[in-house]
Structure 1
Amino acid sequence: MKTALIALTALMTASCTHAFTAFASEDIADQYPASPLYSKPYEVIPGVFSAIGATAPPTYENSGHNNNLSFIITGEGVVVINSGGAYVLAKALHQEIKALTDQEVKLVFCENGQGHAMLGNSYWAEQGVKIIAHTDAAEEFADRGPQSLSNMQRLNREKAEGTKLSPPTETFEDDYIVEMGDFRIEARHLGPAHSAGDIVVWLPKQGLVISGDMAFHERMLPLFEDSMTAEWLETWDTKFEALEATYVIPGHGHPTNMDQVRRYTKGYLEYLRGKIGEHLENGGTLQDAYYVDQSPYKHLDTFEQLATKNAGRVFEQMEFE
C-alpha cells in the first residue's frame, strides 16, 4: 500500500494540467462502450475507486455521466459518493462494484443538490441504501429536481427509464462521520462554495479528499446564480486548504493534487475577480464584462460554454460588493 501511495504521489506531483488531456477531452464521446458509464472505475489509491465522467456537458452518448462517481471498499461495506445522474448510471456503477467485491453498499453521499449528484437516488433507494446529503442540498433538489429530471429525460430519452425523484433519506448540517473497516470517512460541509449544500468527503488516514465541486482543474468551473465567488474563496482559504490533502478526486476530471486544483479553482476565481474589478474601476458595463480577457484558461474543457457566463455572474456580484 505504501509503495502504491508513493507512486501515485510522484505521478500527481509530476503531472501538469495537460497530463490527462487525451482522456478528458470533450472530443471523446464515450470511453466505455460496454457500460452506460463514460469510463470504467479505476483504483485511485487502495480501496478508493472512481468512474471519471466526461469533462464535456451531458449528452446522450455519455448518458449524462459528466461528473465523477466514486466509491470506497472499506472491508465492512461500500460507501458511494454521488448517486449518479440517472437510474441507469447508478445501476451501472453498482454492477462495477459487485464485480470487485461481495461487500454490500451501506451508504451513498450526494456531493450537492444537482441532478448529476442525486437523480440516481431512485436506484439506491430501491436497494434499501441510506442516502445522505447536506440539508441545503436536499432543499435545492426538492426545488430544482423536477427541472433536472425533465432535462435528463429529454437528453437520455429511453435511457431515462426508472429515474424518479427520490430525496435523500438523511441530512446533516456540519459533518457526518463514519468509521467503517479500514477507513474513517468524514463528509463535511466546509462553507459556501460552488452550489448550495456542497460537501467534501475527507479520508484523513489516506490524505485523500473527494472534493466534489469545491475544486476543478481539467474543465472550467461553472458559476451559478448562487455561486458566491468571494465566499467560495474564503471557504477555500480557511477550510479546504486546512485539510492539507495529498490526493484530490475533484467533482469533474481526473484525480490530481492540491497544486492543480488550487491553480484552476482558486487561481481562476481570483484572476476573474481581478479582471472584473479592473473593469468596474474603469466604468465598464455588464455588456462589455462578458469579454474580459480569460485567455490563460482557454485550454480548459467547457471554456467556450462557460467563460462569458462566468464573467457576467462575477460582474453582477462585484457590482454590489
Structure 2
Amino acid sequence: MTRFTSFCAVAALGTLASAAAASEDIADQYPQSELYSKPVEVIPHVFSAIGATAPPTYENSGHNNNLSFIVTDEGVVVINGGASARLAAALHEEIKTVTDQPVVLVINENGQGHAMLGNSYWVDQGVDILAHVDAIEAFGEDADFIYQGMQRYNRDKAEGTRIVTPNLSFEDEYKLSLGGVEIEVMHMGPAHDPGDTQVWLPQWGMLIAGDIAFHERMLPIFEGICTSCWIETWDEKMEPLAPTYVIPGHGHPTNLAQVRRYTRDYLVDLRETIGAHIEEGGDLAGAYYVDQERWRNLDTFEELATKNAGRVFEEMEWE
C-alpha cells in the first residue's frame, strides 16, 4: 500500500533516542522543501515529518512540531494542520509521493498555531478538520495574536494563510475505521495545553501523542497549567495504554519509557524540588534558581527551565 523506508533504522532511533539526538543548532534538513525534514515511515503506513526542536523561525518555516499522517486503502489522515498554508501544502506534496489516496481528515492536536494555522490550506482542498472542543475555544480566543506572531517570523511565507477553525469537534473521543485501520482520537485529560489530543492506533501499538509527551526538548509549562493534573493524566491514562511506539509532539519517534523519563519524571522532579524550596521558606525569586542541572541536556533548557520553575512555584504555593 505504501513504500517502506528504513523501519528498522527508525525503530532503533526511537528505542535509543536521547536528548542529544536533537539540537536547536541543526540546520534545515530538507532545503528543497518548506518542511524542516522529509517525512519518514515510522512504522508501516505511519509517517512523520519531524520538526525542529527550536522556536519557530523563518529558516524552519514554523515547522517545529511533528506533522504526521496515516495512509490507508481508503484515504489519508493527517495529524496537525501545520504552521501556515504553505507548510501544509508542502506536506501534501510529500503525501502525494507516497500514495494516490486523498487526504480525508486533518486532526489538530491542540490549539497552537503550528497545529491549526495550516487549516486554511486543507479546507480549500475540501478536507474536514477535527479538534477537541477546548482546543478550538483556546485557538479562537488567541487566533489573531497567534496569526500575527506567525506573520512576524514567517514574513513572505505567511502568504495564503488565514484563520480557519475546525469544522468537527469532540469531547472525550472520536473513533473512525478507515481502510481496515482503527483510529481512536482521544483526549486523555488535562496536560500540556487545553484540548491536548492523542491519536491511538491499537492494532499497531502506535500512539501519536502530541504535546502530552516530550523527550528531546524541555517541555514548556504555560501559565495556568496544572502540572499535578498532567501527572495524574499520565498515570491514569497514558501508562495503561502502554504504546509500543510513540510519536511525540516534538522530537523523534521513540517509546513510552523515553517520554516518561523526560515528561512525567521531569514534572515529578520539578514539583519535588519546588516543594522543598517552599518548605524551606523560599520565595518566587529564589524558585527560578532551583537545581535543574540533571535536565540541562534537553534542547530549549536555557529558554524554559527558569520559567517552568517559576510557574510551578506559583501553582504549588497555594496547594
Pairwise same-fold verdict (TM > 0.5): yes
Deviation at 1:180, TM superposition (A): 0.5
Q: Give the secondary structure class of the aligned counterpart of 1:252.
A: coil
Query: Contact conserved, 2:129 with 2:167, CA < 8 A, in 1?
Result: yes
In 2, the alpha carbon distance for the partners of 1:239 and 1:287 equals 35
Q: Return closer, same or farther for 1:147/1:298 CA change in 2, 3 Å cut-off.
A: same
In 1, the alpha carbon distance for the partners of 2:275 and 2:13 equals 34
Q: Return closer, same or farther for 1:303/1:102 CA change in 2, 3 Å cut-off.
A: same
Q: Which residue pairs with 1:243 in the alignment?
A: 241
2:212 to 211, 214, 225: 214
Q: Which residue pairs with 1:205 in the alignment?
A: 203
Which residue identity lines up with residue 15 of structure 1 in the other structure? L
Query: Contact conserved, 1:12 with 1:257, CA < 8 A, in 2?
Result: no
Q: Give the secondary structure class of the aligned counterpart of 1:264.
A: helix
Q: Return closer, same or farther for 1:14/1:96 CA change in 2, 3 Å cut-off.
A: closer
Which residue identity lines up with residue 89 of structure 1 in the other structure? L
Q: Which residue pairs with 1:231 in the alignment?
A: 229
Query: Contact conserved, 2:173 with 2:185, CA < 8 A, in 1?
Result: yes
Q: Which residue pairs with 1:261 in the alignment?
A: 259
Q: Which residue pairs with 2:133 in the alignment?
A: 135
Per-residue CA distance 1:227-253 (angstroms, 9 max, x = gap): 210000000000011111000000000
Which of 1 and 2 has higher RCO (CA within 8 Å, sep 6+)?
2
Deviation at 1:99, TM superposition (A): 1.2
1:32 to 26, 30, 33: 30
Deviation at 1:4, TM superposition (A): 9.4
Matched, 1:103 2:101: yes
Normalised to the residue count of structure 1, the TM-score between the two structures is: 0.96
Deviation at 1:220, TM superposition (A): 0.2
Q: Return closer, same or farther for 1:155/1:291 CA change in 2, 3 Å cut-off.
A: same
In the comparison of the two structures, how many residue pairs are matched? Answer: 317
Which residue identity lines up with residue 77 of structure 2 in the other structure? V
Per-residue CA distance 1:243-284 (angstroms, 9 max, x = gap): 110000000000000110000000100010010000000000
Between the aligned residues of both structures, percent identity stands at 63
Normalised to the residue count of structure 2, the TM-score between the two structures is: 0.96
Q: Give the secondary structure class of the aligned counterpart of 1:34.
A: coil
Q: How does 1:56-67 map to 2 (within 5 A)?
A: 56-67=54-65
In 2, the alpha carbon distance for the partners of 1:219 and 1:49 equals 21
In 2, the alpha carbon distance for the partners of 1:13 and 1:94 equals 25
In 1, the alpha carbon distance for the partners of 2:191 and 2:203 equals 25
Deviation at 1:225, TM superposition (A): 1.1
Q: Which residue pairs with 1:178 in the alignment?
A: 176
Query: Contact conserved, 1:195 with 1:226, CA < 8 A, in 2?
Result: no
Q: Which residue pairs with 2:47 in the alignment?
A: 49
Q: Give the secondary structure class of the aligned counterpart of 2:147.
A: helix
Per-residue CA distance 1:104-137 (angstroms, 9 max, x = gap): 0000000000111000000001011000000000
Structure 1: runs of 5+ lacking an equivalent: none
Q: Give the secondary structure class of the aligned counterpart of 1:178.
A: strand
Deviation at 1:304, TM superposition (A): 0.5
Q: Give the secondary structure class of the aligned counterpart of 1:107.
A: strand
Query: Contact conserved, 1:74 with 1:180, CA < 8 A, in 2?
Result: yes
Q: Which residue pairs with 1:145 in the alignment?
A: 143
RMSD: 1.8
Deviation at 1:45, TM superposition (A): 0.3
Q: Give the secondary structure class of the aligned counterpart of 2:184.
A: strand
